[in-house]
Amino acid sequence: MRALVVAILVSGGVAHADVFAFKDLAGYEKCMTLDHLVETIGTDSGAQTRFLGPEEIQPRCIESAVKLLTGTKSADLVLDFIKTTRRLARPEAALDLVRVLADTSLAGCNDIVAYEVLLAGLDRPKDDRFFVPRARGIAKRCLADKDFRKDFVEEKDNSEAWIAANACQILVEEKLVKSCPGSK
């Protein structure tokens, strides 16, 4: 019986082996909604099988989506992937996709969905080493857009302290404001 269970799990992993090789939004959504995956990796001494949960699957799905979308000319397609990510994961999980959107079309930085993802990435302590650096890089890229810049300058006064502090630091670095509220 034990061998049968292992065989089913391994074959389940093989059945989903190409889950990260999706070619469209439907494949991405399927990838993002997987609740488990058994991955078999060949090693020098044979093979190693690992059970993956959503917390390991979703980042790999997003990474594959970034690769798929990099270089696309369709901001609407990238935006659809961002919306799907927001629906199926925490908003800040879509930061790398917002970067692709900014690279595809600076005007995309003004889309409310992308803007909210950016703010979610900034809504963390300054010493956050994962989301804040990504969000800062995207914000600096998006500041090249006049409409985005006009809106983003107002974030230094955001009622969320971390957003205000991170946004103001970006604005000071980019020489768009001289100082931040409360700083000396």
The domain segmentation of the chain, as residue ranges, is 1-54, 70-184
**What pTM did the predictor assign?**
0.84
pLDDT of the residue at 13? 37
pLDDT of the residue at 17? 53
pLDDT of the residue at 182? 64
For residue range 93-131, what is the model confidence (pLDDT) as tens digits?
999 999 999 999 999 999 999 999 999 999 999 889 999
Low-confidence ranges of the chain (pLDDT < 50): 1-16, 184
Q: How far is CA 49 from the centre of its chain?
A: 27
List, in sequence order, every beta strand (DSSP E) within the chain. Answer: 37-43, 46-52
pLDDT of the residue at 4? 31
CB 132 within 8 A of CB 122: yes
DSSP 181: T
Query: What's the number of CA atoms in the CB half-sphere (13 Å) around residue 62?
Result: 24
